[in-house]
Amino acid sequence: MLTPSIPRTSQPILSRLLEKGLDSPAGPDESAHTTSLLSAMLRDAQRERASDLHLDPDSGGYQVRLRIDGAVIDTIRLPAADGTRLVRTCKTLASLDPTNVRIPQDGRAEFKADGQEVAARVAVAPTVAGEKLSLRLLPAHLTWRKLDELGLSTHDCQLLRGAALDARGMILLSGPTGCGKTTTLYALLQELRPTNKSIVTIEDPVEYVVDGITQIQVNEKQGLTFAEGAKGLLRLDPDIILMGEMRDTASARVALDIADTGHLFLSSVHARDAVATITALRNFGLQDFEIAASLDVIVAQRLVRRLCSKCRREEVPTAAEIKWLEVFGQPIPKKTWHAAGCPDCSMTGYRGRLGIFEVWRLHEEEADLILKHADEHTLRRRLRKQGMSSLLEDDLSKVSDGTTTLAEMQTVGGFGFYTGGAKSG
């Protein structure tokens, strides 16, 4: 029998089902069989706290993989016929064309697993080995994460809360895809919700439907882009506008218009740190005087896995860790925290994730520097002098207190641009 690579105290439901010898039947039983496989797969995913479920085709069949706390873990294998039927069933449930296997498609579907509703974003793509399926599992009820539960230091949390309640201008979240920007934006909205303000959002996709907030879904095919949608939102008499992403000149222009008219504007930008966000805005064609006048706060963010408190171990640093710390000009501690693995954390050594942050509230002096077209290096030097904790420093502090590991930090990566600053500053 195929054994899952997550050793657990109890066996995954899907593997129990396959062990019963449920070979792929033909005829009417085929669909019942596929339904039980799908249901078992979804229940396993939920039990393991997975955010995504992948069905990856290869030469021998399909590999089921789960993404848990951001890391992809192999579970069990399925025969090719089962995998293909599962992909087809998911496509049908998501109203995609099940017969078209030549183009990538995506949609949303509601599944039933043990009578429980499971909503997921469904994506399929043709690969050389067959069609790959990925399901992004959406929580049944939006569990609002509070601002102080995200991993922000007390200082940064207060600073951000204060800026949001000040309620004018622009707050931007920056970081790569999947770094928790949406969660942080929603945690900010939660802070603002009791203030009797009208909150409207335009998102792509709207992952969580929230009562009391007006949410609009981007529909590029119909011409409803971020920019067009945000313009429309202004007519809805809002106080606070959230635009899921600032991704081009058009959306950046609209963002400026909104922030200039006395609204609080929240959005996200792809940039590697807070300072690089200024460069991203310049690349969108915004002028230095426009950026300096409108921007209030930039929050740069990454997500790291949280060490499992039941099994973490403190040991002497590994050679790789020492090398890495040296590159960043950091002192080498006698001991560092390491992941071990226990049934509580699906043997991964980690349980849950938290953000590492850099929170920059722009002061007049920094606005002046932007007006003078200061480059990233100059701005970073200024912020270091001001004592702002960088992404690297925030992460290192969470490594030293055993919240996460250096290994995890290395996986997240993208700190290369701090090497110069860390050594010279």
- Whether the CB-CB separation of 338 and 315 falls below 8 Å is answered with yes
Question: To the nearest whole angstrom, how small is the minimum distance from the Cβ of residue 12 to Zn ion?
Answer: 18
Residue 68 makes contact with Zn ion by CB under 5 A = no
Nearer to Zn ion, 310 or 335 (CB): 310
Q: Are strands 199-203 and 240-243 parallel, antiparallel or unpaired?
A: parallel
Question: To the nearest whole angstrom, how small is the minimum distance from the Cβ of residue 311 to Zn ion?
Answer: 3
Residue 129 makes contact with Zn ion by CB under 5 A = no
Residue 206 makes contact with Zn ion by CB under 5 A = no
Q: How many residues bind Zn ion (CB under 5 A)?
A: 6
Residue number with the shortest CB distance to Zn ion? 308
Nearer to Zn ion, 253 or 312 (CB): 312
Q: Which stretch binds Zn ion (CB under 5 A): 30-38, 100-108, 263-271, 336-344?
A: 336-344
Residue 8 makes contact with Zn ion by CB under 5 A = no
Q: Which stretch binds Zn ion (CB under 5 A): 92-100, 113-121, 260-268, 309-317?
A: 309-317
Given 155, 310, 335, 423, the residue binding Zn ion (CB under 5 A): 310
Question: To the nearest whole angstrom, how small is the minimum distance from the Cβ of residue 66 to Zn ion?
Answer: 17
Question: To the nearest whole angstrom, how small is the minimum distance from the Cβ of residue 312 to Zn ion?
Answer: 7
Given 224, 342, 367, 371, the residue binding Zn ion (CB under 5 A): 342
Residue 122 phi, psi (nearest 5):
-105, 130
Q: Are strands 199-203 and 214-217 parallel, antiparallel or unpaired?
A: parallel
Question: To the nearest whole angstrom, how small is the minimum distance from the Cβ of residue 347 to Zn ion?
Answer: 7
Residue 86 makes contact with Zn ion by CB under 5 A = no
Please work out, in degrees rounded to the nearest 5, the angle formed at the alpha carbon of residue 318 by the alpha carbons of 322 and 406: 70
Length of the chain: 425
Residue 344 makes contact with Zn ion by CB under 5 A = yes
295-307 β-sheet, strand order? 214-217, 199-203, 240-243, 264-269, 169-174, 295-307, 350-361
Q: Which stretch binds Zn ion (CB under 5 A): 127-135, 285-293, 338-346, 355-363?
A: 338-346
**Quick one: which of 191, 231, 186, 241 has its CA closest to 209?**
186
DSSP notation for 320-337: HHHHHHHHTT----S-EE
Please work out, in degrees rounded to the nearest 5, the angle formed at the alpha carbon of residue 297 by the alpha carbons of 418 and 181: 75
Residue 307 makes contact with Zn ion by CB under 5 A = no
Cα–Cα distance measured from residue 191 to residue 174, given in angstroms and rounded to the nearest whole number? 20
Beta bridge partners, 105, equal: 124
- DSSP letter at 49? T
Nearer to Zn ion, 345 or 422 (CB): 345
Given 45, 240, 345, 379, the residue binding Zn ion (CB under 5 A): 345
Q: Which residue has the tokens 């945690």?
A: 187
Find the distance separating the first CA and the last CA of the chain, reported in whole Å.
57
Contact set with Zn ion (CB under 5 A): 308, 310-311, 342, 344-345
